Structure 1
Amino acid sequence: MLSRGDDFPIHQTPEPVAFAGTDRNFYDRYFFNGYAPDGSGFFAVAFGVYPHLGVVDAHVSVVRGGVQHCLHASRELGVERMDLTCGPIEIAIVEPLDRLEVRLSPSEGMSAELHFTGRHFPILEPRFTHRIGTRAFMDYTRMTQNGRWNGWIEVDGDRRDLAEGTMGTRDRSWGTRPIGTRDMQPIPGHPLPGFFWQWTPVNFPEGSLFFHVNNDEHGNPWNTRAAWAGEGADRGGIAEGAGSMRTRLASATRWPGGGRLALALPGAPETVQFEPLGRFQMRGIGYTHPSWGHGVYQGREKIEREDIDLDGLDPLLPENLHVQIPVAVTGGASEGIGVFEQLIIGPFAPLGLTQFLDGSA
């Protein structure tokens, strides 16, 4: 099963690039988001390759006027993992680790051309390895990078250039996590596994702040780190440290209503405040989507438009729990903008959540 990748020195095993170990849940994904300086015009992109499921899927989604417009695409992979097209959506790597492009050819009333340039060398997050009982739930690596955007997005004939100063974040992750059709085999002793996740990449004028945490249901972290990258930081110029987040929830939801982050991180403010500016539903790019979940087989090729009324949805339906909240950020004398991503499934004692899907009091 030779492919174009086999002509490049990128092999990690004695096998052709088409193979990625033996775990059916192996994935390789691109993620991007972007927002104007006031948090408006929020958009995001996801592109996933699932070599053992034989599937590629991609999503582009933008918020305008209280509606989240989404374009979903899926196709059969074959063996060519270096073909970064899926229906009308294409990723182009212009300069690895620095400049990338996203193109959406006209489809279902949507099109776009987006250019990303990194503000610093990507940071490598700690490896995410987590088990539920004896079963590996996830084991993956991720790199993250803030950057600047230019380009345009068109929805139903309304073409808008990205606002001057549009910034955002992109990441690349690869490894194993639940994808495709859900595993119906129960895990003995763990009938209601919980999951808590926060991620807050921030663009300050002078640099980029990153914080993430995975906690258990008692609030104990099993993966967390804070990092600071000054403008133009190279591989050796990224500082690492720790943070502790105090979060409030929006009423009757599991969405973040803001928070205060305390940091022990060279170059970064000691405390950072987050205030919401809007909301983006991650189901719009496949995360927890009931029918367009990542890696789900949709047939030989499928493209579908979806429009989400952000004010009309039920915040406690499982597909609506995972959100990215554009936030205004204040750290000392500096003001910035970023996102507050959160997903809470199951009980979480520090926020008073006791059931699988209850909301805040």
Structure 2
Amino acid sequence: MTLSPLDDYPIHQAPQVMRHVATSDRNFYDRYYFNCHNGAQELAGRERARDANEQRSGRDHKHADGRLMLIVGVGQYPNLGVTDAFACIRTPDLHRVVRASRELGADRMDTGIGPFRVEVIEGLKRLRVILEPSEHGLSFDLTWEGTIPATLEPRHFIRWQERVVFDSVRLAQTGRWSGNIRIGTEDIQVTPDRWQGTRDRSWGIRPVGEPEPPGIQVKNPGTFYWLYAPMQFDDHAILCIVQEDEQGRRVLEEATRVWADGREEYLGRPEYHPVYAPGTRDVVEATITFGKLEVTCTPLLPVHLMVGTGYGLEPDWKHGMYQGVGPVVQGVTYRLPDDAARMWGMVDAVGRFEYDGRVGHGLFEYWALGPHPSFDGATGP
């Protein structure tokens, strides 16, 4: 048992040092997720004319209108002794990932992993996210400020074949960004009038680290039918989750409207109606209804979250997988459309959302894997 600076705070939840969590489950994790995009920059009239003038004067606006999305994750896996991070930048022709891993050590307050770090400036309100320059062609220094209070989502609990495989809680928040992003030799200024996003903090149990012998878990159907859509409007946000099993039964759901002053309004059971591109499970548009309230959703820029980031596709780099004492830092770059065949799995898209004359933007995250009543299997794996 090793002490850390956290042990000097009156926050213990178990008769352990803060380095140790209350469960010995190898799959315990504690992580940050952020996304940053300019999807709200759907300019019209005077603003477009202004941008045209600025472009003629040398200012770069080629990433306007939702054509850039940055996703960042930082995680700790106390029972695996690992901490890691990734950043994924997506433009129309680029999917670039920088990732890093090291041994966790005793000090869980140290979020630095090679060139990555997260700084909490004001808890639940303002954070700073940094990726220092390296040979991998992506860096940033960004400050997040929430536009609604951080909101606790429902507990996520799934037991498969007697084993608890998901048992976690998560807070969600919409917000705006300021700072800068550098892609190769291109510098992009990030200002809160144009750049927004969503973030979450989740912790608990879910599959991480090196693969385990499956045992009886081979009987599971392998379905992951999922929608996660935090949407940001001018003075409020809507937080929506839908997860169903292979029979269409609800595993998890949420539908809450959160106002900037902290008021929360339950919207009722969300109903999700996606439209897929022919022969695929790629969503081209969707409708989400909450009673009489109907939101239309349009994905603007798909980001294949699982490619290169550690969410499970690469056998040699998964969240929580031991890479050595570290820090180990790697870069992965794909070009589109040449590498389009590699883009598979969970999609985190910049989304455009409309209801009752309001237009908002946010995250449209979805995956339709395995059997489900909404399709017969002819539209993809």
TM-score (norm 2): 0.87
Q: What per-residue deviation string (whole Å, max 9, x for no partner) do you get for residues 288-310 of structure 1?
A: 23132211111121101111234
User: What is the match of residue 25 of structure 1?
Assistant: 27
Q: Given the alignment, which residue of 300, 311, 318 partners 1:277?
A: 300
8 Å contact 2:160–2:220 — kept in the other structure? no
8 Å contact 2:69–2:90 — kept in the other structure? yes
Q: What per-residue deviation string (whole Å, max 9, x for no partner) do you get for residues 77-108 of structure 1?
A: 11211101111001000000000010111112
SS at match of 1:350: coil
Q: How does 1:38-187 map to 2 (within 5 A)?
A: 38-108=65-135, 109-162=137-190, 164-187=193-216
TM-score (norm 1): 0.91
Alignment partner of 1:223 is 2:252? yes
Quick one: distance in 1 between partners of 2:358 and 2:25? Answer: 45
8 Å contact 1:49–1:56 — kept in the other structure? yes
8 Å contact 1:51–1:79 — kept in the other structure? no
Quick one: distance in 1 between partners of 2:277 and 2:8? Answer: 51
8 Å contact 1:282–1:288 — kept in the other structure? no
> Which amino acid counterpart does residue 240 of structure 1 have in structure 2?
Y
| Bigger Cα Rg | 2
8 Å contact 2:228–2:365 — kept in the other structure? yes
Q: What per-residue deviation string (whole Å, max 9, x for no partner) do you get for residues 27-66 of structure 1?
A: 0000000111232221110000000101000011112342
Q: Given the alignment, which residue of 298, 320, 329 partners 2:323?
A: 298
Q: What per-residue deviation string (whole Å, max 9, x for no partner) do you get for residues 113-163 of structure 1?
A: 111000111111110010112111110000000001111111212111125
Quick one: distance in 2 between partners of 1:309 and 1:244? Answer: 36
8 Å contact 1:39–1:337 — kept in the other structure? no
Quick one: distance in 2 between partners of 1:280 and 1:188? Answer: 29
8 Å contact 1:26–1:52 — kept in the other structure? yes
SS at match of 2:132: strand
Quick one: distance in 2 between partners of 1:188 and 1:102? Answer: 37
Alignment partner of 1:359 is 2:360? no
8 Å contact 2:178–2:190 — kept in the other structure? yes
Quick one: distance in 2 between partners of 1:209 and 1:3? Answer: 38
8 Å contact 1:44–1:285 — kept in the other structure? no
User: What is the match of residue 265 of structure 2?
Assistant: 239
Q: Given the alignment, which residue of 346, 352, 376 partners 1:328?
A: 352
Query: Which ranges of 4 or more aligned residues in structure 1 deviate by more than 4 Å?
Result: none
> Which amino acid counterpart does residue 176 of structure 2 have in structure 1?
R
Quick one: distance in 1 between partners of 2:180 and 2:319? Answer: 26
Quick one: distance in 2 between partners of 1:66 and 1:250? Answer: 20
What displacement does 1:346 show? 1.6
User: What is the match of residue 3 of structure 1?
Assistant: 4
8 Å contact 2:348–2:366 — kept in the other structure? yes
Q: How does 1:339-358 map to 2 (within 5 A)?
A: 339-353=363-377
8 Å contact 1:45–1:285 — kept in the other structure? no
> Which amino acid counterpart does residue 18 of structure 1 have in structure 2?
R
8 Å contact 1:133–1:189 — kept in the other structure? no
Quick one: distance in 2 between partners of 1:54 and 1:300? Answer: 10
Q: What per-residue deviation string (whole Å, max 9, x for no partner) do you get for residues 292-347 of structure 1?
A: 221111112110111123434466x7x72111121221111111112210123221
Quick one: distance in 1 between partners of 2:351 and 2:105? Answer: 40
What displacement does 1:110 show? 2.0
Structure 1 stretch 94-103 or stretch 300-309: which is displaced more?
300-309
Alignment partner of 1:256 is 2:263? no
What displacement does 1:218 show? 2.0
What count of residue pairs does the alignment treat as equivalent? Answer: 348
| C-alpha RMSD of the superposition | 1.8
SS at match of 2:17: coil
Quick one: distance in 1 between partners of 2:133 and 2:111? Answer: 17
Q: What per-residue deviation string (whole Å, max 9, x for no partner) do you get for residues 204-228 of structure 1?
A: 1121111001100122211101111
User: What is the match of residue 60 of structure 2?
Assistant: none
> Which amino acid counterpart does residue 40 of structure 1 have in structure 2?
R
8 Å contact 1:116–1:148 — kept in the other structure? yes
Among all aligned residue pairs of Structure 1 and Structure 2, give the percentage whose two residues are the same amino acid.
Answer: 32
> Which amino acid counterpart does residue 14 of structure 1 have in structure 2?
P
SS at match of 1:279: strand
Quick one: distance in 1 between partners of 2:372 and 2:352? Answer: 26
